[in-house]
Amino acid sequence: MITPLLRPQEALDRDSVDLRLGTEFLVTRADRLPAIVPGRAQGAEFQRRIHVPLGRFLVLPGHQTALASTLEYIKLPSDLCAMVLTKSSWARTFTTIETAPWVHPCYRGCLTLEVANVSETPLVLYPGVRIAQLVILEVRLDDPVSDSPSGTFLGTIRPEPHSFRKPRDELGLLGVDRRFIREPLEARDE
C-alpha cells in the first residue's frame, strides 16, 4: 500500500514508484553542534523541526543536509522489501536523498529521506515534488515470516533523528575499557 498515490499515471513506472517530498524536515542546529558523535548530542537541543506547507519551500545551503519525510505512507507485507533511490533528475543537481536505502518487509510509515546538497549552490526544496523512487522487491523465504510489523522507525509520519548507543556503551560491548574511550565533545584533562 502506498497512499496517497497522486497522479498514478506519472508516479508508476515499470520498475519503480515515484515518491514525493513531504512537508516535515529535521535540520541540525550547527550553531550548537561542533561535531556529530553517534550516541551523544542528539535530540531537540541539537535539531530543529520545520514544517514547510505545500506551495512554500526550504532552502538547503550548499554542503548541507536535512532529514525529510515522504508525502506517501508506505505499508509493505512480509513478502516484499524495497529500496529508495534518488530520482536521476535530482541526482543531476548534485542532490542525494538516500544514504540508508533499504526498506524492510512489514515496514509501515512515511520514509525518512536523508537529503544532502553536495553542490556549492543552495538548493530550493518544494514539498510535494517527486524526488525519490521506490523499487519494490519480492522476498522469497522457505520459512513463513510473521506479518507483525517491527523495527526502530516503525509507523513514523515525520523524519526521525538518529538513534545510537553512546560510544562508551557500544564499544564496551566489544570489551573496550570505558576509561580509554575518547569522545570529542568532552572536556578532558590529559
- For the annotated catalytic residues, the residue numbers are 114
Distance CA 103, CA 137 (A): 10
For 101, residues 6+ apart whose C-beta sits below 8 A from its C-beta are: 83, 84, 85
Q: Tell me how crowded residue 130 is: count the other CB atoms within 10 A of its CB.
A: 18
Q: At residue 77, what are phi and psi to the nearest 5 degrees?
A: -80, 180
Rg (CA), the chain: 19
* Sign of the C-alpha dihedral computed for residues 156, 158, 159 and 164 taken in this order: negative
Q: State yes or no: cis peptide before 4, omega within 30 of 0.
A: yes
**Beta strand extents in the chain (DSSP E only):** 2-3, 17-28, 47-51, 58-60, 64-75, 80-86, 95-96, 102-103, 108-117, 123-125, 130-138
